Structure 1
Amino acid sequence: MAATPHDLSLRASLAGRRERLRSIIGGSAGNVIEWYDFLAYSIFSIYFSKAFFPGGNQTAQLLNAAAVAAIGYVVRPLGSWAIGALADRHGRRVALSVSVAMMSVGSLIIALTPTYATIGVAAPGVLICARLLQGFSMGGEAGTSATYLSEMAPAGRRGFFVGFVQVTVVMGQLVALALMLLLQRLVLSPAQLEDWGWRIPFAIGGALAVFALYLRRGIAETDAFERADALTAGKQRGEAERGSLVALLIRHRMQTLWTIGISIGGTVAFYTFTIYLQKYMVNTTGFSRDTATLITTVALVIYMCFQPLYGLLSDAVGRRPVMLIFGIGGTFCTVPLMHALGTTHSVWAAFALNLAALGILSGFSSIHWLVKSELFPAKLRALGVGLPFAVVSSVMGGTTEYLALKFKHAGHESWFFYYVSACAAISLVTYLLMPETRHRSVIDEEARG
C-alpha cells in the first residue's frame, strides 16, 4: 500500500526530530570533552608542575603552573571574538569543529612535550603555547555551543535543552576528577604519576577531542543561521554586520550591556560556590580536605541535575522568574549562608548549605546562555553570547578566589561575602529592567519572519 501524504509528513517529522536530537547530543558531547581538556590542566598540575618548572619548592612550582593556567583564561575573550565571528559568518558547525580541533591539538601537545630536563626552557615555552590554544578554543566554544543548542532546541522546550550546557561544564570537571581518582588509587603509584602518568589524561583528552570532531562533522547546521545566511546574501551591509564587533558594540549595545549585567553576579557566584567553597570549608570551617572534597563533589552532582529542571521551569513560567531565584537569593542570602557555613561543625549541615548555594546559583547557570541567545539576531548571536561573558569571566571570575583569600588574609573575610552579594545585586537590577525573553525571543521572531 502506497504511503499517504500524512504518513510521509509524519516520517519526515520523525526524521527531523532524530536529526535534531543527534545534533544536540553531538554538540553537548563535544562540550563535555572540551571542558574536561581545559580543566584537566589545573587538576593534574600537582603532578606535572615539577616536570616543567624544576626550580624552587613545590609551592613555587605550583604557582608557575597556575600562572600558565591563568593564561588560558586571559586569552578566552580573544578566542570568543574570533571563533564567535567565524560562527556568525560561516556557520555554527564550522566554528564548533575548529574549536574542538584546537583543543585536541593543545591537549596532545601537553601530553607529548619533553620535560625541562630534556629540552630546558623550551619546555615551559611549549606548555604556554599549548595553554594558549586551549584558552583560545574554550573562549570560542562556550558561546558558540550555547548558540548552537539554543537554535537547535524546540521552541517550547528550549530552556530544558539549553540547561544541558551547564551539565556539560560540571560533567567535564567530574570526569577529570574521576580519572584522577582512578589513576591515584587503582592504576599508578605517586612516583609513576609524577614521572609519566600525568601525560595520560592529556593523551585521553586529545583523543576524545578527535572523536568529538568526528561527531561534530556530522551535525546539522541550524535553521537560524541558514535563514540569516540567505537574508544577507548579496547585501553589502548585511554581510558586513555578520560577526562584526562594531555592529555588536554600537547597533546592539543595549543587548551587550544586558549580557554583561546578567553575567557579573552569576560569574562571581559560580566561582565562589563551585570552586572556592571547598577551600573555605578547609581554611575557615575546619573540615579536612577529604571531607570538604566529598561534600562539594556530591553537591556538584546534584547541582548538575538541577540545570535542565530549572530550564524546564523557565519554559513554563518564563526566564525572569528563574533568574530572580539567583538575583534575590544571591543578593540577600549569600552573607548569612557563608557565615553559617563558616561556623558549622556538622557535615550534613555543610552539605545542605552547599546545596542551598548551588540551588540559588542554578537560577543563573541553567538559563543564562539561553537568555543571551534570545537577545541577539542570528548574524551576531554567537559573538554576542560569547564575547561579553568571556570578558566578564576573565576579569571577575579569574579574580574571585584571589579576592576571597586576600580579604581573609587581611582579617576581613566577611567583606568578600558582601562583594558577592553586591555583584548579584547588579544582576538583579538587570533582570528587573530587561525584557522577558521567553515571550520576546529574537530566535522565534526570526523564525516567524
Structure 2
Amino acid sequence: MDAGRLSRDKAVYVACQEVHNPGRRELRRAAVAASVGNLLEWYDFAVYGFLANIIAARFFASGDSVSALLSSFAVFGIGFLARPLGGVVIGGLADKRGRKPALTITIILMALGTLMIALLPTYAYIGFWAPALLVVARLIQGFSAGGEWGTATGFLVEWAPHGHRGFYGSLQQCTALAGLLIGSGVSALASSLIPASQMEVWGWRVPFLLGALVGPIGFYVRRNVEETPAYTTQKTSLPSIQAQWGAATRLFALVAVPFAVVFTLMSYLPTFTQKYGGLSRSESLWANTISLVVLIVCIPIAGIWSDRIGRRPLLVASNLCFLFLSAPLLWTTLRFPGFSTVVLVQIAFALLYATYAGAGAAAYNELFATSSRVLWLSISYNLSGIVFGAFAGYIATWLIKTWGSPIAVVYFVLFAAVVSGMGMIGMKETAHSPLR
C-alpha cells in the first residue's frame, strides 16, 4: 500500500470516529460492557482451576488422587471443545447482526453454566450423573466463551480512538486477568475462612455462586450500550479467503504461548506449588493473587507502549524470554521452595506475560477486516485454545508423571513459544495503520 493510499484511509477512519464523536462516557460504557463478560468467563475458569483438587474428590469416584485430578482437568478441558462452535455461531452473529446482540447472548450463557456448577449434586448423591452434568455445564461455558473473546476484543478495539488501540485492547486482557485475580482471591479467602472439612463439603460452591451473580449485571450493561463506530461504518466487501486464512493461521500461532503460560504457569501453578513448592493451599492462592495484581497494573502500560513503538517488538521480546527463562525460573521454585520464592518467580512470569498481552489484543484484531473480524478471530483463537490451553493442566500433570520430574511441566510452554515465534516471522507492524 502506497503512502498516499494509507494517508487517505487513515483520514477516512479518523473522520468516521469524529462523526460518531465517542466521548469519555461512551468509551467508558463500552469498556465496561466488553469487560464484564470477559471477567466472568475467566473468573469461572480460575475458580475451577484453583479448586480442581476438591472438584476431583467430589465428582469422581477413584481411589487414586492423581487419576481423579486428571479427570477433573479433563472436564476442565472439555469446555474448550465447545469454544470453536461458539466462536462460529456467535462470531458469525456478531459480524452479521452486530457486536451488541452477541455480547448479550454470551453473558446469559456464562452465568447459566456457572450457576449449574454451583448447584450440582456430587458423585456421592447421584453417581455417574454428577460428572456428566458437570461436563454439560462446562460445555455451556465453553460455547459462550468461544464467542465472548472475539466479540469483546473486537468491540473494544473498534471503539478505541485512533492511536490508542493498544491501550483499549489491553483492557480486555486486564479484565481477563482481573477475573483470574478475583477467582484466585475469592478461592483463597474461602480457603482461609472456611474450615478445610467444610470447604470439601459445601464451601467450594461459594465462589461459583458469587460468579453467577455477575450475570444479571452484565446483561443490563450490555443491553444499554451502543454499537461500535467501526462496525456501523464498515465496508461490506470481504477480503479474499486466502488472506483471511493466512491471518487466521498467524493468529493461531501468536496466541499459543499466552494460552500455554496462562493455563500452565498461572492457572496450574497453585496446584504445582502445593505439591512441589512446599506451600499450603491458601499460600499458593495468595502467591498467585499477588502476581495477578502485578499483571493488571503492567498490561495497560505495555498496551500504551505498543501504541508508541509498535506491537511486534514487544511480542518478539516477550516470546524470547519465555523460551529461555521459563525453565530457570521454575527450577528456582524447586531449588529454593517457600512462599517468598514462589511470589518472586510468579511476578517475573507476570512481567513477561504483561509485555505480550499488552500488545497482543490490538495486534490480533489488526490482522482482520471489520466485516469478518469477530468470526475469524473467534475461530482461530479458539482452535489454538484447544491445542495450547484446553488440556494444559492435564498435560502438565502427565509430563511430570511421565518424566518423573516437576520441571517437565515447562516443556509444554517451550513448545508453545516456538510455535508463537513461527507466527511472528514475516509479521507486519500494524500499530500506526487504520483498522480495515
Question: Are positions 1:271 and 2:278 aligned together?
Answer: no
Q: 1:176 maps to what in 2?
A: 183
Residue 49 (structure 1) shift? 5.2
Range 125-134 or range 81-90, more displaced: 125-134
Normalised by the length of structure 2, the TM-score is 0.84
Of 199, 220, 224, the residue aligned with 2:226 is 220
Q: Let me know the Cα RMSD of the aligned residues.
A: 3.1
**Corresponding residue for residue 431 of structure 2:** 438
CA distance in 2, matches of 1:45, 1:280: 12
1:170-214 per-residue CA deviation (whole Å, 9 max, x = no partner) reads 21122223333444444x544554444444333332231121011
Give distance in 1, aligned partners of 2:90 and 2:240: 15
Deviations 1:109-165 (A, max 9, x none): 333444556555444433322221011111111111111111112222221122121
The offset of 1:318, in angstroms, is: 1.0
Displacement of 1:71 in angstroms is 1.3
Distance in structure 2 (CA, Å) of the matches to 1:290 and 1:193 = 12
How far did 1:381 drift?
A: 0.7
Superposition misfits of 4+ residues, deviation over 6 angstroms: 11-15
SS of the counterpart of 1:366?
helix
2:170 corresponds, among 163, 172, 175, to 163
Counterpart-to-counterpart distance in 1, 2:220 and 2:174: 22
Matches within 5 A, 1:193-204: 193-204=199-210
Distance 1:210 1:38, change over 3 A: farther
State the match for 1:129 in structure 2.
Answer: 136
Of 79-88 and 322-331, deviating more is 322-331
Aligned counterparts of 2:197 and 2:91: Cα–Cα separation in 1 = 42
Change (3 A) 1:387 1:59: same
SS in 1 for 2:164: helix
The letter of the residue matching 1:219 is: V
Q: Summarize the Cα distance change of 1:415–1:123 in structure 2 as closer, same or farther, 3 Å threshold.
A: closer
> What does residue 99 of structure 2 align with?
92
Query: What amino acid does structure 2 have at the position aligned with 1:398?
Result: A
2:66 matched to 1:66? Answer: no
Aligned position for 1:244? none
Name the aligned partner's letter for residue 376 of structure 1: F
Bigger Cα Rg? 1
Residue 215 (structure 2) pairs with residue 209 (structure 1): yes
| Native 8 Å contact 2:318 2:352 kept in 1 | yes
Q: SS in structure 2 opposite 1:358? A: helix
Deviation of the 1:288 alpha carbon: 5.1
Structure 1 residues 293 and 178: alpha-carbon distance in aligned structure 2, compared to 1, 3 A threshold: closer
Amino acid at match of 1:301: V
Q: Is the 8 A contact 2:51 2:204 kept in 1?
A: yes
Question: Given that residues 107 and 218 in structure 2 are in contact (C-alpha distance below 8 angstroms), is that contact kept between their aligned partners in structure 1?
Answer: yes
Out of 315, 325, 328, the residue aligned to residue 317 of structure 2 is 325
- Is residue 27–residue 159 contact of structure 2 (8 Å, CA) maintained in 1? yes
Distance 1:131 1:406, change over 3 A: closer
The count of aligned residue pairs is 418
Structure 1 distance, partners of 2:409, 2:307, is 34
Q: Can you list the C-alpha shifts for 1:346-380, whole angstroms capped at 9, x where unaligned? A: 75454333222221222222222211101100111
Q: C-alpha separation between the residues in 2 aligned to 1:64 and 1:203?
A: 23
Aligned equivalent of 2:4: none
2:328 is the alignment partner of 1:336: yes
Superposition pairs for residues 312-391 of structure 1, below 5 Å? 312-345=304-337, 347-391=339-383
Under a length normalisation based on structure 1, what TM-score does the superposition of the two structures give?
0.82
Q: How many angstroms apart in 2 are the aligned matches of 1:148 and 1:358?
A: 26
* Aligned-residue offset at 1:329: 1.4
Separation (CA, whole Å) in 2 of partners of 1:405 and 1:50: 16
Cα distance in structure 2, aligned partners of 1:440 and 1:139:
28
Partner residue in 1 for 2:159: 152
* Whole-angstrom CA distance in 1 between matches of 2:197 and 2:333: 37
Q: Is 1:31 matched with 2:38?
A: yes
Moved more, 117-126 or 316-325: 117-126
Question: Counterparts in 2 of 1:214-253, with a 5 A limit?
Answer: 214-228=220-234, 231-232=235-236, 238=237, 250-253=242-245
Percent identical: 32
Question: How far apart in 1 are the matches of 2:22 and 2:233?
Answer: 21
For the pair 1:256 / 2:248, whether they are aligned, the reply is yes
